[in-house]
């Protein structure tokens, strides 16, 4: 196995290998499913490539990358991409008050996430990369080509062998999709993320809320997933909605001294509805022209998510179905 990236230009710092097996093991331990994505990302990073993760919010991109970085034994520098991410914020700056008395010196340079990642050999993870201003993206593109950065008045900063760039973006986010994005695509491997299936989403919620009734967890996931297919909604909720729904319901149930189950007792159905409204109404968006409110749509989805068989098959009168 070569330690030198064959694609690196002579004289420039090369990417070293990363421990692909340890990365995958760490992701298996911390991430539900995502086996294919984890293998492909780990393999690409191990081979010295940078990666673009593309998928809707809440699909586990950050969770997976954190696990892979941990498995690689590399740090993770996380940067939120937005219009305020100037080159100076990304790279770092000289402390202006110290410059006044000491002039420009390496000691008074305050490194930003890019310089920290380059020198420590961390993974630099830039979320919402399509929101980053073009001049800042240009800095990143330069680093991708050269594995080194020229910082005015500081000098050349070479990338440590384990340094990699991982960028993430939401494909339906049209904010600031600049001209530069094709250049980033051309220098990265791309891995697409879609929502996981119901069983895996239930397993994600169960990891955080193992003590909550399994039927209730399944119902919370069912209601959350239904927001993604509802004809009146243009945006549905990620699994974060189900995680919040169960968390809020568990607290409310304790407060109100009611039990949670797939089929809630008459006195507990409103607790499920309250939790669903709190967890989901802010995460969904109505299609333009819809005549109903998000509250009405979510309340209806919650009611419809009650398990069908128990609901109709039971004669004990406490179905509590709205
Ligand atoms: N496969 C998974 N395994 C374990 N937890 C997951 C998984 N997918 C999502 N989660 C959980 O769902 C939540 C959202 O995941 P995460 O923050 O990784 O999503 P993301 O894709 O980075 O979202 P965004 O695009 O908004 O940054 C987290 O609480 C995370 O723990
Ligand atoms: Mg994220």
Among the ranges given (121-130, 198-207, 259-268), the one the predictor scored with the smallest mean pLDDT: 259-268
Among all bound ligands, the one having the nearest atom to the CA of 60 is 1
Q: Compute, in angstroms, the gap from residue 186 CA to the centroid of ligand 2.
A: 22
- What stretch of H or E contains 252? helix 239-256
Alpha-carbon gap, residue 207 to 295, rounded angstroms: 28
Inform me whether the pLDDT recorded for 144 exceeds 90.
yes
The predicted pLDDT at position 314 comes to: 43
Domain 20-192 in CATH: superfamily?
A: P-loop containing nucleotide triphosphate hydrolases (3.40.50.300)
- Fold of the domain built from segment(s) 198-313: Helicase, Ruva Protein; domain 3 (1.10.8)
Determine which residue's CA is closest to atom 11 belonging to ligand 1: 60
Report domain extents, the chain.
Answer: 20-192, 198-313
Q: Compute, in angstroms, the gap from residue 310 CA to the centroid of ligand 2.
A: 38
Determine which residue's CA is closest to atom 6 belonging to ligand 1: 60
Cβ-contact 248, 275 below 8 angstroms: yes
The predicted pLDDT at position 174 comes to: 60
Determine which residue's CA is closest to atom 27 belonging to ligand 1: 57
Q: For the residues of 107-176, what is the DSSP string, one character each?
A: GGEEE-HHHHHHHHTPEEEEETGGGS-HHHHHHHHHHHHHSEEEETTTEEEEPPTT-EEEEEE-TT--TT
Distance of alpha carbon 306 from its chain centroid, rounded?
A: 29
The predicted pLDDT at position 308 comes to: 78
Residue matched to tokens 């900063």: 157
The chain-wide mean pLDDT, for the chain, equals 90
Contacts of 233 by beta carbon, 8 Å cutoff, 6+ apart: 227, 284, 285, 286, 287, 297
Inform me whether the pLDDT recorded for 316 exceeds 60.
no
Sorting pLDDT into bands at 50, 70 and 90, what band is 180?
A: low
Sorting pLDDT into bands at 50, 70 and 90, what band is 53?
A: very high
Q: For the residues of 69-91, what is the DSSP string, one character each?
A: HHHHT--EEEEE--TT--HHHHH
Q: What is the dihedral of CA 71, 77, 81, 83, to 10 degrees?
A: -170
Q: Compute, in angstroms, the gap from residue 61 CA to the centroid of ligand 1.
A: 6
CATH topology identical between 20-192 and 198-313: no
Q: Compute, in angstroms, the gap from residue 96 CA to the centroid of ligand 1.
A: 38
The predicted pLDDT at position 295 comes to: 97
Determine which residue's CA is closest to atom 26 belonging to ligand 1: 57
Spell out which residues line ligand 1, taking CB within 6 angstroms. Answer: 31-34, 57-63, 127, 170, 204, 239-240, 243
Bridge partners (DSSP) listed for residue 235:
285
Q: What is the dihedral of CA 129, 134, 139, 141, to 10 degrees?
A: 70
**Total residue count of the chain as it appears in this document:** 322
* Reported pTM: 0.89
The predicted pLDDT at position 7 comes to: 59
The predicted pLDDT at position 181 comes to: 75
Q: In the chain, pLDDT over 90 holds for what percent of residues?
A: 76
Q: Give the other-Cβ count within 10 Å of 254's Cβ.
A: 10
Bridge partners (DSSP) listed for residue 110:
93
Inform me whether the pLDDT recorded for 231 exceeds 50.
yes
> Coil, strand, or helix at residue 302?
helix
Cβ-contact 136, 85 below 8 angstroms: yes
Give the environment of ion ligand 2: residues with CB less than 5 A: 62
> Coil, strand, or helix at residue 103?
coil
The predicted pLDDT at position 260 comes to: 93
Determine which residue's CA is closest to atom 7 belonging to ligand 1: 60
């Amino acid at each position: 196995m070569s330690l030198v990236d064959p694609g690196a230009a002579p004289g420039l710092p090369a990417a070293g290998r990363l421990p692909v097996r340890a990365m995958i093991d760490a992701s298996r331990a911390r991430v539900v499913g995502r086996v294919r994505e984890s293998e492909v990302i780990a393999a690409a990073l191990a081979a010295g490539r940078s990666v673009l993760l593309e998928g809707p919010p809440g699909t586990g991109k950050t969770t997976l990358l954190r696990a892979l970085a941990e498995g690689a034994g590399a740090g993770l520098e996380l940067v939120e991409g937005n219009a305020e991410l100037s080159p100076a914020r990304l790279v770092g700056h000289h402390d202006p008050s110290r410059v006044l008395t000491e002039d420009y010196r390496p000691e008074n340079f305050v490194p930003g996430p890019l310089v920290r990642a380059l020198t420590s050999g961390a993974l630099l993870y830039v979320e919402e990369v399509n929101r980053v201003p073009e001049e800042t993206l240009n800095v990143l593109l330069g680093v991708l080509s050269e594995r080194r950065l020229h910082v005015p008045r500081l000098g050349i900063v070479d990338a440590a062998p384990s340094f990699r760039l991982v960028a993430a973006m939401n494909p339906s986010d049209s904010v600031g999709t600049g001209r530069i994005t094709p250049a980033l695509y051309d220098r990265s491997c791309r891995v697409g993320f879609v929502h996981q299936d119901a069983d895996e989403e239930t397993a994600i919620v169960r990891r955080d809320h193992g003590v909550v009734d399994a039927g209730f967890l399944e119902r919370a996931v069912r209601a959350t997933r239904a927001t993604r297919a509802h004809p009146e909604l243009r945006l549905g909720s990620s699994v974060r909605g189900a995680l919040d729904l169960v968390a809020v319901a568990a607290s409310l149930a304790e407060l109100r001294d009611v039990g949670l189950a797939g089929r809630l007792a008459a006195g507990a159905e409103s607790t499920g509805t309250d939790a669903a409204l709190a967890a989901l109404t802010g995460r969904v968006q109505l299609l333009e022209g819809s005549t109903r409110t998000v509250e009405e749509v979510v309340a209806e989805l919650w009611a419809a998510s009650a398990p069908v068989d128990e609901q109709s098959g039971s004669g004990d009168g406490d179905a509590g179905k709205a």
